[in-house]
Structure 1
Amino acid sequence: MLFIICDDLNDYQGVFGGHPQAKTPNIDKLAAMGVLFVNAQSNVPVCSPSRNSFITGVYPHVSLDYGWTDLKKQPVLKHNKTIMRLFKENGYVTLGTGKITHGNVEADWDQWGMSLANNYGPLYFDGENKIALPTVPYPYSEIGAVDGSYGRLSDAGISLGKNGEKGLVYGWSNEPMRYINDNDRDLMQDELHAEWIVKKIEELEQREIKQPFFMGVGFVRPHTPMHAPDKYFDMFPIKDLKLEHWKSEDVDDIYWKNNFDPELKGTRYYKTLLESYNGNRELALKHFLQAYLACVAFVDEQIGKVLNALNESEFRDNTIVVFTSDHGWQMGEKNYLFKNSPWEESARIPMIIKTPDTNAGLKVEQPVSLIDLYPTLMDLCNLKGNHKKNKNAGDLGGFSLKPLLVNKPHKWEGPNGALTLVGNYGIKIPTEKQNFSYRIKHWRYIKYSNGQEELYNHETDPYEWNNVATDLKYNNVIKKLRKEVHEIINN
């Protein structure tokens, strides 16, 4: 079992069609060999609770995990077994590296790669503090070293890899990263993760005892700070870039500002970016988009290294591969630049599953979500045992995707759609008063905390420009989707 997850990766891959200029040959190749879920969704579009949820199989509205609580300390989920733990209990050797969860459960892994403290970045260190790259314009640079930084590695200047000097450092650890030029430098974190996985595949081939394995790798790109070597930026010249479809009045019929603080990151980041380019929306977003596409191309290459190593090994034909992301990212749609929103760009994720007997190239339109991965892996690998450590654990919320992995799909036992919770209120208000987004094949329905609703017809409105929730002719659609959301929440 090989599990690959990226961070903040939306549908900007060739096979998912999110951006026409995206360059992702390795992800595209995997899709051609596996099953592509074109309507997969995140259950909560922000890093920590999303990962805590799918790694335990428990919905966020069940665990009430909406923020950045360490998995080992979350009041409900600390009583659940991670999927790695269940594999380990079933005789698998577990190996992992990168960002898979926030707060690693060390006992779940037989072998672990890079320290979590080193994952973010590389960050720019000015000799005293970690800040944005010097090339990032003000005031966007004031957002900080992580979310406020994007650009080429070369923008940091030469760094000899000595403590206390200006230059690049690994994550929060302040460990210096040597950089002279793109051909003379230390490896970035995701390169080190890929290298580690490749090495472990080679080692597994040399074992005398043939024990099955669960191998997990969490790539950090394209998460901010969006830094990558020059060659990836050179793939996307600013003058040639195409921006996402957008219309200025798109915010006129949404209820975000009535339910969320307008100074939350997504809206604030968008306004700050435009301010940094003197209000020139096109120029501002093209600079940001260039960095995002560069980081996507960079991580695709690392994924390719891992997949090539697997395909050249003895495990090629008997290994299940899962590729996905924790959530998406909005690139200025609805004047929003971040994740953690209820709309398509933030909630939709890439998902590919390849099994030895998968029908290669199959596209599944049934909306599914990350919550379905836990029961799917249990089903595909015939894992035995309870997913709970004790009675205080949360119940499994998803359904096995195995029936959808064949050319003539069996009956899907799961719900009609996929549920996403935008939990900015935390546990301050009851579950039913949280903000929910629900995606079925042709519709997206959003129910805000104050009762306001949005409804988008994806057959005629793929960019979610026209909220038709107040149109009386869609009353029956609204009632049906309200009922389905209620059933999932209260199941």
Structure 2
Amino acid sequence: MMKDYMKGVFAGLVVSCCCAVAQEQDKPNILFIFADDHTYEAIRGHGYLDIDTPNLDKLVERGASFTHAYNMGAWNGAVCIASRTMLTTGRTVWNAGMLEQSMKQEVEQGRMWAQQMKAAGYKTYFTGKWHVQAKPEDYFDVVKDRRGGMLHSTPKDGAAYNRPKDEADYEAGWKPWDKTQKGHWGEDGKHSSEVVADNGIEFIRHAAKEAKPFFMHLAFNAPHDPRQAPKEYIDRYPLERIKLPESFLPEYPFKDDIGCGKGLRDEALAPFPRTEYAVKVHRQEYFAIVSHMDHQIGRILDALEESGEADNTYIIFTADHGLACGHHGLIGKQNMYEDSVRAPFIMVGPGIEAGTKVGTPIYLQDVVPTTLELAGKEIPDYVEFKSLNPLFKGEIKHYDAIYSSYQNQQRMVMQDGWKLIYYPSISKTRLFNLKNDPFEKNDLAGNPEYTAKLTELEKSLANLREQYNDPLDFEDPKKSWNAYREACGANKKKSH
């Protein structure tokens, strides 16, 4: 909950930003930093993991951390596509899916997030990962070094997968610092995170000289696999420093029924069944690439300070979703557990009191209407997410409940500290009390003591499915899912 100081300060800020007579030069800059596969846990300042993130920690100290920021789900294995499509269009998951193959019309109508910022008088800039059908060159003022959604290191049956089986396999196998493996290292041996930072710094120095405020969208490919980083970062995390997740399992019992078995690319990265050794190595490499990205973010923040624009800039850091990386016997993000559906969300800027924690659940795509308001732009009717600004003014309830989904195989509702997960293809329900069981280890669905709570959440899920145009018929998941895929034309094979 926000401190009282924030209520008056930010209320005045929103009024001034929304005033029709505001001048362009008085508008705040927006620096949006977007990571890929970054779970909410993986920031030391949040207090969960022994991980080195000094620059993200500074943002936590300087601003507001929204501790429960969620992604609404995905219509294919590449969860980032759905998250980013929702982000660029402002639509909720199933409505965004219907737009995936018709982005050209959205661009022609000026509906993309960056176009709305441009209409508000902003110089718009993009660099990094792009995983949306419409090309950013069609509507950002400046685009540099756009990268694809998946940085391939080896083919799926290659050295970066099904590893490490044991210590000997690791010693003889793929190494994250080996630049010949390409992936994040690219053709020139320069890490993708360094490219994003260099480009961002260059634009900040240029934009500081212009009269227009800037809107920067810096999209890191990190810490998405292949989880590559310089060896010095790997060496920071000897395996004895790495702790197994509280919810570690050798295998998730329903993995094959929910699309998280050996056929899913993300899950094929580590051997089945999961071993403590393999999970520790994957977490070592994950922590290393996060720390390397954190260093690049520090360089960007230093450049912003040097430009003289820091005091008039809102910095927002989040990610498209989280990542299991060993929780529950899973490696990827295609599941409904907190480590995968929940991302960090930090906001720093004028009027935001340092060290604020906001526990009210949000969707990470709420950043779209929030920034439009800060830009003095009326939120269009087609934007289906909510501005966070009322939370800064003391609002406690934002959404009645949080919904998420994965293809036709998983559904979730989180409400008042309780979570229901449902697997339609096998009619399996799981129930967790997140307050008492934050690592979701104790399934209460079969306990008659919680029958009323289960019924309550089932009704809530039904209401949210209707509200968000969920196409899935639980009585016939396959048929209804095929009909949705046919309707939206989203039948191309996706990488993730």
Letter in 2 for 1:30: L
Single out whichever of 95-104 and 231-240 deviates more from structure 2. 95-104
Alignment-derived partner of residue 182 in structure 1:
none
Are residues 71 and 330 of structure 1, via their aligned partners in 2, closer, same or farther at CA, if it must alter by over 3 Å?
farther
> Contact (CA 8 Å) 1:31, 1:352: kept in 2 or not?
yes
Letter in 2 for 1:420: S
Deviation per residue, 1:348-383 (Å, 9 max, x gap): 110011231112211111111123222222222221
> Contact (CA 8 Å) 2:201, 2:303: kept in 1 or not?
yes
Q: Check if 1:8 corresponds to 2:37.
A: yes
When the two chains are superposed, the root-mean-square deviation of aligned CA atoms in Å is 3.3
Q: Check if 1:151 corresponds to 2:135.
A: no
Q: 1:56 aligns with which of 69, 89, 94?
A: 89
Distance in 2 between residues matched to 1:257 and 1:28, nearest whole Å? 38
Matches within 5 A, 1:251-262: 251=252, 255=254, 257-260=256-259, 262=261
> Contact (CA 8 Å) 2:248, 2:329: kept in 1 or not?
no
Distance in 1 between residues matched to 2:120 and 2:372, nearest whole Å? 10
Alignment-derived partner of residue 106 in structure 1:
137
Deviation per residue, 1:269-309 (Å, 9 max, x gap): 37x5256xxx7x12111111110010010111111111121
Letter in 2 for 1:86: Q
Alignment-derived partner of residue 200 in structure 1:
203
Hey, which of these two has a bigger chunk of helix by percent?
A: 2
Matches within 5 A, 1:121-140: 121=151, 123=153, 132=159, 137=164
Are residues 364 and 211 of structure 1, via their aligned partners in 2, closer, same or farther at CA, if it must alter by over 3 Å?
same
Alignment-derived partner of residue 396 in structure 1:
383
Matches within 5 A, 1:179-190: 187-190=190-193
Q: 1:47 aligns with which of 55, 58, 80?
A: 80
Q: 1:320 aligns with which of 314, 318, 322?
A: 314
Unaligned segments of structure 1, at least 5 residues: 143-148, 157-166, 179-186, 388-394, 426-433
- What TM-score comes out, normalization by structure 1 length? 0.78
Tell me the SS of whatever aligns to 1:415: coil
> Contact (CA 8 Å) 2:193, 2:296: kept in 1 or not?
yes
Deviation of 1:441 after TM superposition, in Å, equals 4.3
Q: Check if 1:417 corresponds to 2:401.
A: yes
Q: Check if 1:439 corresponds to 2:414.
A: yes
Distance in 1 between residues matched to 2:336 and 2:351, nearest whole Å? 35
Distance in 1 between residues matched to 2:101 and 2:51, nearest whole Å? 34
Q: 2:432 aligns with which of 450, 456, 462?
A: 456
Deviation of 1:223 after TM superposition, in Å, equals 0.4
Deviation of 1:122 after TM superposition, in Å, equals 7.6
Distance in 2 between residues matched to 1:320 and 1:175, nearest whole Å? 31
Tell me the SS of whatever aligns to 1:462: coil
Alignment-derived partner of residue 32 in structure 1:
61
Alignment-derived partner of residue 146 in structure 1:
none
Distance in 2 between residues matched to 1:204 and 1:386, nearest whole Å? 27
Tell me the SS of whatever aligns to 1:151: coil
Alignment-derived partner of residue 234 in structure 2:
233
Letter in 1 for 2:113: I
Letter in 1 for 2:300: V
- What TM-score comes out, normalization by structure 2 length? 0.77
Letter in 2 for 1:363: K
Deviation per residue, 1:455-475 (Å, 9 max, x gap): 100121111011112222223
Matches within 5 A, 1:205-354: 205-207=208-210, 210-246=211-247, 248=249, 251=252, 255=254, 257-260=256-259, 262-265=261-264, 268-269=267-268, 272-274=270-272, 281-354=275-348
Unaligned segments of structure 2, at least 5 residues: 1-29, 468-496
Are residues 15 and 90 of structure 1, via their aligned partners in 2, closer, same or farther at CA, if it must alter by over 3 Å?
same
Alignment-derived partner of residue 184 in structure 1:
none
